[in-house]
Amino acid sequence: MEIRKALVVGAGQMGSGIAQVLAQAGVQVVLNDIKPEFLERGIGVITKNLSRDVEKGRKTEEEKAAVLARILPTTNMGEAHDAQLAIEAATENMEIKKNIFRQMDEVLPAGAILATNTSSLPITEIAAVTSRPELVIGMHFMNPVPVMKLVEIIRGLATTQEVYQSIEDLTKKMEKVPVEVQDFPGFVANRILMPMINEAIYCVYEGVSSVEDVDQVMKLGMNHPMGPLTLADFIGLDTCLAIMEVLHEGFGDSKYRPCPLLRKYVKAGWLGKKTGRGFYQY
C-alpha cells in the first residue's frame, strides 16, 4: 500500500521529528496534539531544523516551504479520516497509548495501518484494543529523528506481511534504514542501550566514579558520541526508568532492576534536559 497521507499523534520531540521526515518524503501529514501550544512548539522545532538545512545548503527555501506546507497542525484528529497510516508518538504510558489507538481506530478508514513509536511497550497488547490488530505495527524512531538513520520495525503477533512491507518501503522512502524486530520487551535498541545507561547510573550511585568521568570513559574509550549519562538526560530520565521497568517486569530478571538513584531523580522531577536538570544542569 502506498502511503500518501499520514496522521502523527503527539507533537513533542519524537512526533515533530517523525512529521518532518514524513513530509520530507512527500507524505501529507496531519500533526495532532491535545493543545494548540504543543502544536506550535512542534512546528517551531521543525521550522528551525529546516532553516538549518537551508543555511547548510542541503535544502532550498522552496523545498523548506514545500515540506512545511505538507504538515497540517490540528487538535482535530478527524482531519485524518482519509489517511493510509497513523503513527502514535505520545507519552510512554500504556493507558494513554491504548486510548489513542481506540480513537485512531475510529477515525482512520478500514484498511489503514496503525503504528506506534513506542520504545518498549508491547505492540501486541496495544493492537488488541483495536478492531484491526493485523494492521498494527511498531515503528521505533531514534532521537533526534531527522538525524538518526535507524527505524526498528516491530511485528505484533497478528501483523501481516503486507503491512510489514508497506512500512519497510515507507522507511526507505524517508531515507532511514529499517531493521526487523519481533515483539519482546525493549525490542533490540533499548534492550541493549538501557541496561548500559542503568549500569552507568549504578557506577555513580556506588561511588565508583563521577558523572563526568563515567561519560568520559564511554566517549573516549568506546567512541560513543555522547556519554551514557548525557544520553540519559537527552532521552529523559522518566523514559529511561519506564523502559527499565518494562524490561524488569517483562523478563522477570533482576539484572534489569532500575538503579535507586534513577528512581530518586525521577521522583525529584529531575528528568534531564527537558526540565533543566538531570545528571547535569542545563
Q: Are strands 28-32 and 113-116 parallel, antiparallel or unpaired?
A: unpaired
> What's the closest the beta carbon of residue 271 comes to ligand CAA, in angstroms?
13
> What's the closest the beta carbon of residue 244 comes to ligand CAA, in angstroms?
11
Nearer to ligand CAA, 96 or 162 (CB): 96
DSSP code for 197 = H
Report d(CA 141, CA 246) in Å as an integer: 18
DSSP 158-195: T--HHHHHHHHHHHHHTT-EEEEEESSTTTTHHHHHHH
Q: Which of 32, 88, 117, 152 is catalytic?
A: 152
Nearer to ligand CAA, 20 or 130 (CB): 20
Nine-digit cell at 31? 500533526
Q: Which of 133, 138, 146, 272 binds ligand CAA (CB under 6 A)?
A: 146
Angle, to 10 degrees, between the axis of helix 260-268 and the axis of helix 189-205? 90
Decide: is 231 part of the binding site for ligand CAA (CB under 6 A): yes
Decide: is 136 part of the binding site for ligand CAA (CB under 6 A): no
Q: Which of 32, 49, 117, 119 is catalytic?
A: 119
Report d(CA 96, CA 116) in Å as an integer: 12
DSSP code for 7 = E
> What's the closest the beta carbon of residue 107 comes to ligand CAA, in angstroms?
26
Nine-digit cell at 34? 491535545
Nearer to ligand CAA, 2 or 55 (CB): 55
Q: Binding residues for ligand CAA, per CB under 6 A?
A: 49, 52, 56, 119, 142-144, 146-148, 189-190, 193, 225-226, 231, 235, 239
Catalytic residue IDs = 119, 140, 152, 190
